[in-house]
Structure formats: C-alpha cells, structure tokens
Structure 1
Amino acid sequence: MSGNAELAIKFLVVGGGIAGLACAIALRRVGHHVVVLEQYSDIDISKMLHGGIRLPPNASKVLFHWGLERALRQVSVTSSAINVEIYETGEFIGTHRWEEEVLRETGGDFLFLHAFLYDTAIAAGAEVRAGTTVVSVSGDGPRVTVVQEAIVGKDVLDAAPCQSLFYNTTVPGALMRADPQLASFFKQPVETMFIWLGNNRSAVAFRMGAKDEFALHMWVRPMQKGLSDDDCWGGGLDLKEMQRQLGECEPRLLKMAKLAATPACVQVKMILPIEDWVDEHGRMVIIGEAAHPLPAGSLQGGAMAVEDAAVLAKLFSHLRNQDQILTVLHAFQDLREDRCASVMHTEQCNLHFQMMPAGPQQERCNQEMRARTAQGGSVFGVSEASEQWEQLKELWGYDADDEADDWWAKWGLLRERAKQRLLDMEAEMNTARLRSLRVRA
C-alpha cells in the first residue's frame, strides 16, 4: 500500500462486480477498511464474472499503477488487430492494426482479460461477504455505502426500455479446433479480435489469455417482447434460446453458439446521465454502472469502473477528518460526470455502428471500409495522423490519478488551508477573550 490516508474509515460497498471489486482494491491501497456485500454466493460470483472482458489502455494503466501488471499479463492477451466481417455472411471486410507507438502514447495496453479482480481484492485485505442481500440502506453513520436506488430514488434501468440483448459466454478452444471451420480462428495471431457487423445484430470474439477459450459477445434485437431482467441474468439460461435470437448469421457464429457454455444475458438500455451521485447526508455515493450506465458489453464499461475506483481512492487518500467526506464525494462526481457522459455517448454511437439497420447508411459504411482495405489502409481509417486518433488519444490517454491529483492541488489543499486559517483565527480570538477576562478579573 502507498499514500495511506491519515484517517482510515470503513467503506461498505454494495455489489461485487467490477466497480465494487476495483473500488475495494483501490481503497485498500490507501489504507481504508472495505467490506463488500455481494448477493451471489462464492460460486455464483465466479459465474457472474465469467466470460471475457476487453480492457482499453485508460484502464490497464490504472491496474499497472496498482502493481498488478505482472498478474494481469498472466491472464490476458494484448490486442494488436481487429478483423471485421459481415454478420449475416461472414464476408471479410478488412483489418485494423493498433500501432505500437499509438498505444504507447496512451500509457497502457489494449487487453483481453479474464476476470481476476475478486482474488486481487481478497489479497488486498478487503472482506467480501458473499450470499448477502441488502434490503435497506441508511445515510446515517460514518461510512460510505455504494448503492443507486437510495440516492436516485428509483432503479433507472427498470424505467428504461430494452433496446437489445447482450449475451456473454465462452467457447472451449478444444471444441473449436475439432471443427475445420472454427479451427481457422486459431490460425490467426492470438492477439486478433474478431467483430461481426450486421442488421440489428453484432458479435465480438477473442482469445482469453491463460484459458484455452474464446470469449463470445453478442448483441441482438430481441425477438421476444416484454423480457424482464429476471429472464436474462443468472444461471440456467436456455442456450437454444440464445441461438434462436442470433437470427440469420454466418455458419461459424452459429457453430460457436452451439458449442458455447451457458451464457449470461442482460438487457441493453440507453440511459440518460444521472443527476445526483451523492446522498443528502454525504455518506453514500454511487459509482460505476450505478452512476453512469453504459450499454451492456461496452468496451469502456469496465474501464469507467476502474477509473472511478482510482479517482475515489486517490481523493480519499487525503482524508484527515470526517468533515472532509462530503466535500470529497462531491469532488468525485465533479471530476467524473463529464468524462463519463462523454464516454457514454461514444459507446452508444459505437453500438449503433455495430448494429446498424440494413439500408443505404449501412451499405455506405461497408463500402467505405472495403475501399480502405483495397487501398491497403486500416478498415476503420484510424491512423496516427487521423482525426479519429485525436479522439482516441483523449479517450484512452485519460489518467485518473492525474485528474484527482490536479483537483487536490488546485482545490483540496486550498480548502484545507482556508479551513485551517479559520480555525487558527478562532483560536486566536478565544485566546484574546481569555486574556481580556483575566485582565478584568
């Protein structure tokens, strides 16, 4: 641990997903006590975190800074290329390769990750109480609870309509290699990701580091109306139903779906930015998906959670007294909400691009990608000299620790010094009053 806070407090974190576990790791690093409450059992937690996670450079460099680079590289693959194909036919459109210098400038790597945050949080000293259901929360008391509904007043996800379904599963490598069509995926470099663009459907597949498995992510417009989240998340989902939802797709995708493990599934919803992240008592704050829900399966979903954890922990590393808590929590929202709103918009646009409905716009995009490939360029038109790269630099070059350090240097220290000056003035005035009383006596 490094940079421990002068005052160590107890954080009660509701939810053992990426945001909760990253938060636990980050807060333990600066000396705070953390208890994570997770409704699933130990076995179910591993299932909940199953499947592949794509981790962009803005998140990987945070984990590297936390001293997890070696462990992370043992369970991940660094992405260097994306093969783009048509969902319905399997037509190869082109390849995008990440330039090494481009990634180096962001300070991190583009990783394919199999979840390992749970073990890391335990190793860092966090207490995870699995199989614990939270039935109510209170803002009273010297603690911070991470929970959405108590602050916002409603479950924002329930109120939003379902746009599509996101399936997250894995396919055993041995079964894929036994099929001549699927074995071709293993002839590509291990660092290659595959993406299929289709009519209201999309899929992504990639190798999973130390595991001999392919991660398979799929987005589809639901054929069944009126699905609830109870029909989606959890074990026991019908694999045949997932295959049916795929609709018209190229043979390899269908074969992968038939060989896949039981999937997790969640509704994809487009949520407006949430106004309040901190409760009126200044003891509860929401982070991650609870504060800024990105479309399910978004590249930046896990990254935003890791950034949140880094900023929150960095701010709380300066904690000296409980009076600072409310200020620090509001500073956290001020630092994060514009960044997260911008990323949310980007991810919504990306998903629309992946699942663009059939028509003139979709065909125009496909033709432009074919043309770039024919000219020997990147299928997405991203290069060090392109406008898109400037946008990626802003997205991936973000440094969560630097943002928090800047706030503390510009505002946190000033507030602390101003508060100390007021205390000193009050002490001087009290001393003067005592002297005056003595003189009169």
Structure 2
Amino acid sequence: MTYKSQSRPVFSVLVVGCGLSGLASALALAQAGHHVTVFERSDKLQEIGAGIQLSPNATRQLQHWGVLEEVLKYADRPEAGTFRSYRGNVLSQSPPVSDQELVSEAPYLVIHRADLLRALLSGTGKHGIEIKLGSEVKEIDFNKPSLRLSTGEVYEADLILGADGERSRCRGSLLGRADPPYSPGDVVYRISVPTKDITEDHRAWDLKRRSSVNFWMGSGGHVVSYLIQHDMLNIVLVYADGASGKVMYGPQRADLEEFRSKISDWDPVLHELINVEGSVCTKWTLFQIHELAQWRHESGRFVLIGDAAHAILPCLAQGAAQAFEDAGVLGAIFSEPVGRDQIPDALRVFEEVRRPRASDVRHRTLDQKAMFALADGPDQEGRDAKLRAGADRDLFRWLWEYDAAESGREAWKAFTGTT
C-alpha cells in the first residue's frame, strides 16, 4: 500500500532496538515519509529462535510495507491446521489457516525468524533507513528528546521509539525503576527435525508431505508443529514447569529424553519425530511483563512498542503480530497530516488504539494457554465438544481480520475531525 501524499512535516525518528518490532516500525514510518535511524547494541543482527507463525493481521501489514513478496520467498503457506488431543485424535480443523474467508486477502504463513528479519531488512534500503549496529543507548532525554550512546555521541530527534524487547532498558528508564520480565513458570522445548529421512512409511509422513500447523493439547501444556525452510519441522512444547525451575534467557541445549519425559503418553507420532536422526532439542524460560499503565512519556515525544510495551506468551502466536500492529498504527497515523506540535497527540492516539487491543490479546492468550493445558476430565471434554462445533472461529475472526493501519488512520481522522 502507498499512502497518499499530503503536505506535512517530515520528522526525525530514532528507534532503540533492531529486532522485528524496531524494523517494522522503521519501515512503517519511513514509508510514511519520515527519516528513521535505528540503534542496535549488538554488532550483528540475529534473531534468537527458529520458527514463527504470521497470521493475517501480521501479513496484512507486511503487504502495506511492500515486503510480503520478499517474505514469501522464505515462508511456507500451510494448507491445513489441526487441534488434536494429546493422544493424536483430531478435534477440529483449526487454526483455520486455509479458510479463504479469513486468509484470502492476507495469508497465514510460517517462517524461520532469521528469514523474516532478512525480509524486513530488504525494505530498509529503498526507504533510506539508517541502522547503527554496535550502538548501545546509555541514556534517554525524554524531553528534548535525545539519546546518548555509550561512546558519548548524542542524537536528537522529533520522537523516539523504545523497541528493545521484553528485557527493555527503555521501559526501565521510562518507569524510573527496574522492571524486568517475569516467568509464570512456563518453559519451551523446541526440537528442530530435519525431514530428509522422513519417508512414506514414517508415522510423520503427513507432517512432511504438506505444510500444516498442528496442535496437540494435554495436561500441563501443548505441542505445535509446522514446517520451516521447507525441510525442517519445528516442534515446540510449551509446558508448565513451575516457578522453581532454572531461569534460562534464550535457547540452551536440552536432552531429547527430557522432552520425551514430558509427553510420555502422548501421540506416537511425536515420539517418532524425536527419533529422527539429526533432531536437536533446545529449552528456555518463557517471560511476560506486567501490563503498563502508560506506554508514553509525559513529554509526548517517546513511546514503547512491541515486546517492550506488551510482551506476552506465545500461545496465540501473536508476539510478532502485535508488534506489527503497533507499527501499522504508527505508520498510518504519521502518514496523515501531523504537525510537529501534534506529535504528543499522535502518540496518545496511538496508545489509545493499541493498548486496549494488546491487553485483550494478552488475556485471550492466557485463556488459550489454560484451555490447551486441561487435564482429562469434564472441562477437557467440554473443550473438545466446543472445538468440534467450531466455537473457536469467532476468536480467529476477531484476531485475524483486524487491520492496524486502517485503525490508526481512522483514529487520527476522528481525533482531528477530518474525513
């Protein structure tokens, strides 16, 4: 999508953090005509993790920014989705990844995180986005606003975005206190399974034969699987391990038998996948942050975005999507005529649009996590009956049909009284 050209000031924007959130916001604001500089403290860009799901509310924004075609070079487009009991019984064809009513305008994709980052980077050159690697931000002056790097260099701008993730230093600076993420006691096990040796007589042949997103639900957690990079099955277990376990920031090698012990009586297909030669298991702790009363500084020249503002658990596959929605709303607002003295109003409108939506997604994610992890019994039987009846369709419609850019554009027009 190309936003219509209108007479307006061109702003200087500084973005702290060059992950998915920072890059997406940089693309959205640069496409709207503004000058964007991104600061990243690491010397090189890399995404921790492997697979990521991109629902239509995310890919719709990639279309707006003109990078979806690049993403499609690396992504798989699932043909089917299933919710299964932990024993392997298919309960419903969800998530509805191939339902043309929901995905005809914007696809549901699965992709390796590094490939997604690469695709976003491909759009930075044509928009003149400057990326400064090895640039650690030591101090933020929220009122000027400006950044001071560890080298002593100072950069001033019209507005600053804090996009430095769940362990955000920007968030701590904004709140005036340490605000680390917390673990609700959940861990993730991920097994990367090469598919080259999965043949037609293998139990997992159907998982290799066609791209699909598959969930298994059992007491204490759930497993999801999908193809990435066309030749690797990404198998992820989210499991309630209790708050007493060792905290692990980022993936660390784990023993396959440890994974197996968590799903000892689950679907034999999963156990066959564990046995595939070359399978590698990693493990890490899941974190989220407390809901913030405000994402903006009172000066109206700084705002948190992405995981720095609303890090959530992955049980609805909405982490990146919510960051992209932030970027979509910001880009749409700042593509409209916004005066320099209206920047505080623009950031307030942004937060008024995004914070309720992000909060709703957070709570629905927690509901989904609890629903996935039910033990055998009446509650589980009720859940299964609802899934068979298609009761989850309204959730996916609400989630996937949202157009962040349209929401931002309409909110700003409502604020200014324009049509």
Shared fold per TM-score greater than 0.5: yes
Q: Within 5 A, what are the aligned runs for 1:77-226?
A: 77-87=76-86, 89-96=87-94, 100-104=99-103, 107-115=105-113, 116-125=116-125, 126-139=129-142, 140-141=144-145, 142=157, 143-146=159-162, 147-154=170-177, 156-158=179-181, 160-168=182-190, 170-177=192-199, 180-187=202-209, 189-190=210-211, 192-208=212-228, 210-222=229-241, 225-226=244-245
Contact 1:238 1:262 in 2 (8 A): yes
- Output the amino acid matched with 1:291: A
Distance (Å, rounded) in 1 between the aligned partners of 2:257 and 2:301: 43
Letter in 1 for 2:389: G
CA drift of 1:204 comes to 0.3
Aligned 8 A contact 1:8 1:33 in 2: yes
Q: Which has the higher helix share?
A: 1
Task: Identify if the C-alpha distance between structure 1 residues 290 and 263 changes in structure 2 by more than 3 Å, giving closer, same or farther.
Answer: same
Question: Where does structure 1 lack aligned partners over 5 or more consecutive residues?
Answer: 370-378, 415-441
Deviations 1:20-72 (A, max 9, x none): 12112111211222222334442xx4342x42211111121221222233223
Secondary structure at the counterpart of residue 263 of structure 1 = strand
Say whether residues 1:30 and 2:29 are aligned partners. Answer: no
Does the C-alpha gap of structure 1 residues 94 and 298 become closer, same or farther in structure 2, counting only changes over 3 Å? closer
Query: 2:250 is matched with which residue: 230, 233, 239?
Result: 233
Whole-Å Cα distance in 2 between the matches of residues 91 and 296 of structure 1?
23
Q: Please identify, of 94-103 and 219-228, the stretch whose mean Cα deviation from structure 2 is larger.
A: 94-103
Opposite residue 23 of structure 1, the aligned amino acid is S
Confirm or deny: 8 A CA contact 1:60 1:110 kept in the other structure: yes
Structure 2 CA distance for aligned equivalents of residues 389 and 250 of structure 1: 25
Determine the structure 2 residue equivalent to 1:307: 325
Contact 1:62-1:310 within 8 A present in 2 as well: yes
Which amino acid counterpart does residue 181 of structure 1 have in structure 2? R
The secondary structure found in structure 1 opposite 2:292 is: coil
Paired residues of 1:195 and 1:204 also in contact (CA < 8 A)? yes
Partner of 2:69: 70
What's the CA shift string for 1:275-327, capped at 9, x where partnerless? 11001222221111222222135312211111110111111223554312111
Cα separation, 1, equivalents of 2:133 and 2:315: 24
2:153 alignment counterpart: none
Mapped partners of 1:394, 1:184: distance in 2: 30
Give, in whole Å, the separation in 2 of the partners of 1:131 and 1:255.
43
CA distance in 2, matches of 1:394, 1:279: 30
Segments of structure 2 that go 5 or more residues without pairing to the other structure are 146-156, 163-169
Deviation at 1:343, TM superposition (A): 1.4
Bigger drift between 248-257 and 24-33 goes to 248-257
2: CA distance, partners of 1:322 / 1:338:
26
Does the 8 Å CA contact 2:338/2:346 hold for their aligned counterparts? no
Q: Deviations over 1:381-418 (max 9, x none)?
A: 22xxxx6544433322211121122122221356xxxx
TM-score of the pair, normalised by structure 1? 0.77
Say if 1:86 and 1:100 are closer, same or farther in 2 by CA, change over 3 A: closer
Match of 2:167 in 1: none
Give per-residue Cα distances to partners, 1:109-160, cap 9 Å, x unaligned: 22223332344335323233334443332213333131322223445453x4
What amino acid is aligned across from residue 79 of structure 1 in structure 2?
A: P
1:61 counterpart letter in structure 2: R
2:240 and 2:301 mapped to 1: Cα distance? 40
Return the offset for 1:240: 4.6
TM-score, length of structure 2 as denominator length: 0.81
Residue 250 of structure 1, CA deviation: 3.9
- Answering whether residue 402 of structure 2 is matched by residue 398 of structure 1, we say yes
Q: Contact (CA 8 Å) 1:202, 1:218: kept in 2 or not?
A: yes
Counterpart for residue 53 of structure 1: 52
1:381 aligns with 2:389: yes
Q: Judging changes above 3 Å, is the alpha-carbon distance between structure 1 residues 240 and 15 closer, same or farther for their aligned structure 2 residues?
A: farther
How many Å separate the matches in 2 of 1:127 and 1:179? 51
Letter in 1 for 2:55: P
- Aligned partner letter, 1:284: F
Between the two proteins, the alignment pairs up a number of residues equal to 388
1:339-398 CA deviation, whole Å, 9 max, x = no partner?
1111111111111111223443124434x26xxxxxxxxx5422xxxx654443332221
SS of equivalent residue, structure 2 residue 33: coil
Q: Specify whether residues 112 and 196 from structure 1 end up closer, same or farther in structure 2 by C-alpha distance, changes over 3 A only.
A: same
Distance in 1, matches of 2:122 and 2:400, equals 28
User: Identity over the aligned pairs, expressed in percent?
Assistant: 24
Partners of 1:11 and 1:32 within 8 A in 2: yes
CA 93–396 in structure 1, closer or farther in 2 if over 3 Å, else same: closer
- TM-superposition CA deviations, 1:54-111 (whole Å, max 9, x none): 1111121221222233223222233342233333x44444544556442157x42222
Q: Is the 2:223–2:237 Cα contact (8 Å) retained in structure 1? A: yes
Seen in structure 2, the aligned counterparts of structure 1 residues 7 and 109 have a Cα distance that, compared at 3 Å, is same
The one-letter code of the counterpart of 2:244 is K
